[in-house]
Structure 1
Amino acid sequence: MRLRPLIVTGLALSLLGIGVPAWSADDPRSCNDLMSSDTPAYVVCRWMATPEEAADIARFWLENDGQNMKDAGPGREVGVDCSEAENACDPNLEGDGEMHDVGDPDVDGAEDGGTPECQDGQKCFVDPDAVTRQQAAEAEKTPTGQGAKTAQTSGLRVWIDAELADEFKSGTLADAVKKVAALAVQPGVVGIRFTSQIGYNGVLTTAEEMDKFVAETSAALRKAAPGKKIAVHTVVPVLGCGAEEACKTEITKKYPLLDPDKIGAWLTGGLVDQLALDDGHMATEYATWKIDAAEAQRNQWIQVRARAWDAYAQISAEDAVFTAPGASQLNAEQATQTITDRVAVPLQSDAAESVTLWTRWQDPAKGTVNRVLGEKLADNATWEQLRKLSAVKARLATIYDPATPEVDMAADLKKLSEVFGQVYVRTP
């Protein structure tokens, strides 16, 4: 018996009053009748195997003193006797020709399990092509490295947040990738976001340049930090137009580089594992066509779902809507409504799997610090409402800059872990 994954979102967002249709009670594999009468509609139960099927499965494996289970075990070892004339054995093959137990070292001086030991000054097994043990140790001492370590200790899933477009333009991408990879091999780091607002921030000026940057940077990072997720952030304003043709025409002219087909190709081509879409433009971008922020967001997620982007990569919504100069000024009712619009809608649209919320950023032009919390991490109504989303905590992420702490790294990240399950630790 299992509960559909939708329960995770439904439980957390029940306070918002947004319902999710249940499966039909006529479903022959439904076990909804086993749940109490006050179970919310979005909680759905289905048998993976009915009780009768489970009994048949158990009988199959247990009958005849478990003979079927014994027969399903590993087969006999397959070996080749090189002393027999009919067997041709290459004398240059590696190995000593002897059988060894699982876990025995496979090279002289290897650690248990066959992993060559990392010596100081030598390239480490974590990344034999780009990151040495010494480089990783040096990266750990940097503010970003310490931020990643502290975040992991605080129970947060860690991403390294870098901007490599300038290095790509200047021809120094290889060195920048090595530095980012050295941070990414730290314990607890799951991925790297290597650019934000691509196609919108003006650094890259042609579609060809964007494609080349994404392809080369993705390939370099996958080689330098194997196994780490690769992510990008951008905005695709035309998606908010929905079916309004005049809107699509004008928005495409205004943002020619932000072509959804071009961006979608990065996903279908396997270049990125996560795409974050910014929601910040939705409040004002579509006023000419009488499309408000709620409708624009609905249009965006319908378009994302229709393009099946989530079949190729994780889709994330990103927003700074809760921040304000000094601290969030929302009362409890306003905060709850904003959570409904900017957190619940993306998650329940079945298009975005996570939501990234900015909690603190500086505006140099105005000389202000924009926050959700008050100064020195003071609680407020907005934070109290966000803290209620504990059941979807794993789906919530934030950005943290270790170079500009509010109190100190440990206190800041511990506070953020009250609401968020993931954090993007920024690099200089």
Structure 2
Amino acid sequence: MRLRPILVIGLTLSLLGVGVPAWSQDDPKSCNDLMADGTPAYVMCRWMATPDQVEDIVRFWSNNDNQNMQAANPPTGYHADCSDPANTCPNDTPDSEAHGDGDPDVPGAEDGGTPECANGDQCFVDPSEVSKQDLAKAEKTTGGQAVKAAASNGMRVWIDTELADDWKAGKLDEAVKELAPLAYQDGVVGVRFATQLGYNQTFTDADELDKFVAEASAALRKTLPGKRLAAHTVMPVFGCGANDACKTAMTEKYPLLNPDRVGAWLAKGQLDQLALDSGTDYSTWKIDTATAQRNQWIQVRAHAWDAYAQIAAEDASFAAAQPSQDAAQPSQDATKAITARIATPLQDAGASSVTLWTRWQDQQGQVHRAYGEKWGANATWDQLKKLTAVHARLATIYDPANPEADQATDLKNLSAVFGQVLIHV
């Protein structure tokens, strides 16, 4: 099923060369001339009110000491006299009776009522059903201590886990139930339940992938009502832009990553946030990294994914293999990287947030860091700490099982840059 806003139809028509007169360059409200050189033809700009019209609008409301503004009132609307026998008024209450605290919400319900699905099954798990013993036990785990440390430093916390293997093993419900006490810790706002969806080798069949997303989302919604759900993937075809040869090659190489399929996860409400990596190598088609990133975010906007969920940019390039502070990037290189990897997605591409990998270990055992070893001086980290204006929009991933120093020290330092953290468990 293609689930796209009507606006995308106009963009598609432009992309296919079908004329849309109201959006043409001859349109007096067109502002296409303000867009940068090289902007794709299907990206349109149109004034809601031209600068001249804005002056007239301001003048209308401000003349005579704002008389028109003061005289403006909302419409009074239509009021029906329900005491008049000639009028029929709707009755919105189930039984027309007031209910006190503790009274059943629906006929037959007890103890205040329990929401039920149409088939009679319980649609959610009451948080009170997670025992105090389980909550206390989860708090003492490595992950629980990391959650506590992050929350105490003012960070919004996500639990970062992988449920795909549990689902394939038929143990999804058990895995979600085990996760619940940790997800209910103070400060946890949501769960990221999968990474590299459709990009890695976990799923080889599109229907299987869709079924996993649907069932994992449903299980988490039921067990963790109110918690936000997230996933991570890569959209290689988006980086191709208008290069048909590239798009064909990426579609063949990554058949599960169909934009309509991924968009349907968002439109159906199965995800509240989707993190997108920066793609893959496009050098075969002479597409550099900056151009591929720009192409990707243009496609995200064209597909209107941000209308359904938060779209985050994810990047591991800040974490470099640097055994000592002498190998740190010069300040100017760090500033350039921040502009390309953080400022551009947030300001121009419309990403709601940016998730940076600040520490990870490769297959050779080499540790990659965005900061100095044992929190030593580092030009990149010094530049990142200056981004106070976007602090709330920056997130990182932290593995409590592999600390840089210790959890308290690590999370205190991370909170200086990041307003959000994904605790990996």
TM over 0.5: yes
**Structure 1 segments of 4 or more deviating over 3 A?**
22-33, 50-58, 97-100, 104-107
After superposition, residues 341-356 of structure 1 pair within 5 angstroms as 341-356=340-355
Query: What code does the residue aligned with 2:376 have?
Result: A
Q: Residue 409 of structure 2: which of 408, 411, 423 is its match? A: 411
Aligned to 2:153: 154
What are the equivalent positions in structure 2 for 1:205-284 lying under 5 Å apart? 205-279=204-278, 281-282=279-280
Change (3 A) 1:208 1:126: closer
- Match among 313, 319, 323 for residue 323 of structure 1: 319
- Matches of 1:372 and 1:31, distance apart in 2: 50
Look up the equivalent residue of 1:189 and give its one-letter code. Answer: V
How far apart, CA to CA, are the structure 2 residues paired with 1:99 and 1:248? 60
After superposition, give the CA deviation of every residue in 1:52-84 in whole Å (9 maximum; x if it has no partner): 5664479x9xxxxxxx9xxxxxxxxxxxxxxxx
2:116 counterpart residue number: none
Match of 2:285 among 286, 289, 307: 289
| Counterparts in 2 of 1:368 and 1:105: CA distance versus 1, 3 Å | same
> Within 5 Å, which residues of 2 pair with 1:98-137?
127=126, 131-137=130-136
> What SS does the corresponding residue of 1:330 show, helix, strand or coil?
coil
Q: Which residue of 2 aligns with 1:426?
A: 424
Distance 1:337 1:222 in 2: 41
Does structure 2 conserve the Cα–Cα contact (< 8 Å) formed by 1:131 and 1:224? no
SS of the residue 1:203 aligns to: coil
Whether the 8 Å contact between 2:125 and 2:223 is mirrored in structure 1 is: no
Distance 1:289 1:393, change over 3 A: same
What residue number does 2:301 align with?
A: 305
What amino acid is aligned across from residue 306 of structure 1 in structure 2? A
Q: 2 CA distance for matches of 1:271 and 1:413? A: 30
Secondary structure in 1 matching 2:364: coil
Q: Matches of residues 134-145 of structure 1 in structure 2 within 5 Å?
A: 134-145=133-144
- What residue is the counterpart of 2:171 in the other structure? 172
- Whole-angstrom CA distance in 1 between matches of 2:232 and 2:249: 23
Residue 344 of structure 1 deviates from its aligned partner by 1.3
Summarize deviations over 1:140-192 as a string: whole Å, max 9, x none.
22111111111111010110100011101111111111122221111111110
2:185 aligned residue: 186
Contact 2:298–2:349 (8 Å) recurs in 1: no
Query: How far off its partner does 1:230 sit?
Result: 0.5
Provide the aligned length of Structure 1 versus Structure 2.
Answer: 342
Q: 1:241 to 1:421 in 2, by over 3 A?
A: same
Mapped partners of 2:382, 2:218: distance in 1: 42
Taking the aligned partners of 2:334 and 2:348, their CA distance within structure 1 comes to: 20
Change (3 A) 1:55 1:421: same
- Residue 341 of structure 1 and its aligned partner are, at CA, apart by 0.9
Q: Match of 1:80?
A: none
Post-superposition Cα deviations, 1:295-332, rounded to whole Å, max 9, x if no partner, equal 10010000000000000010000001111123673211
CA contact (8 A) 2:127 2:224 kept: no
* 1:15-164 alignment, distance < 5 Å: 26=52, 28=54, 52=67, 55-56=70-71, 127=126, 131-164=130-163
Q: 3-state DSSP class of the match of 1:349?
A: helix
Structure 1 counterpart SS, 2:368: strand
Give the conservation status (yes or no) of the 8 Å contact 1:126–1:185: no
Instruction: Render the CA deviation track for 1:262-310: whole Å, top value 9, x for unaligned.
Output: 111101111101000011x44xx11111100011001000000000000
CA distance in 2 between partners of 1:315 and 1:215 (Å): 19
Q: Calculate the aligned-residue CA RMSD, in Å.
A: 3.4
For structure 2, list consecutive stretches of 5 or more residues without a partner in the other structure: 1-46, 77-93, 105-110, 114-123
- How many Å apart are 1:370 and its aligned residue? 0.9
Using the alignment, how far apart are the partners of 2:55 and 2:385 within structure 1?
A: 36
CA apart distance, 1:25: 5.0
In 2, are the aligned partners of 1:234 and 1:276 still within 8 Å (CA)? yes
| 8 Å CA contact 1:362, 1:368 repeated in 2 | yes
CA contact (8 A) 2:159 2:188 kept: yes
Instruction: Decide whether the 8 Å contact of 1:129 with 1:223 is kept in 2.
Output: no
- Match in the other structure for 2:18: none
Distance 1:99 1:266 in 2: 39
Q: How has the CA–CA distance of structure 1 residues 301 and 147 changed in structure 2, closer, same or farther, with 3 Å as cutoff?
A: same
Q: Secondary structure at the match of 1:187?
A: coil
Q: Distance in 2 between matches of 1:127 and 1:154?
A: 28
Deviation at 1:31, TM superposition (A): 11
Give the letter for the 2:195 counterpart.
S
Q: Distance in 2 between matches of 1:52 and 1:239?
A: 52
Answer whether contact 1:232 1:275 (CA < 8 A) is retained: yes
Q: In the superposition, relative to structure 1, how do residues 322 and 99 fare at CA in structure 2: closer, same or farther (>3 Å)? A: closer
SS at structure 2 position matched to 1:217? helix
Question: Structure 1 residues 32 and 334, CA, compared in 2 at 3 Å: closer, same or farther?
Answer: farther
- Which letter maps to 1:167? D
Structure 1 counterpart of 2:386: 388
Shift in Å at residue 137 of structure 1? 2.3
Identify the match of residue 379 of structure 1 among 353, 371, 377.
377
Tell me which amino acid in the other structure corresponds to 1:287. Answer: S
Matches of 1:178 and 1:387, distance apart in 2: 38
Corresponding residue SS for 2:390: helix
Q: For residues 423 and 30 of structure 1, do their structure 2 counterparts lie closer, same or farther at Cα, with a shift above 3 Å needed?
A: farther
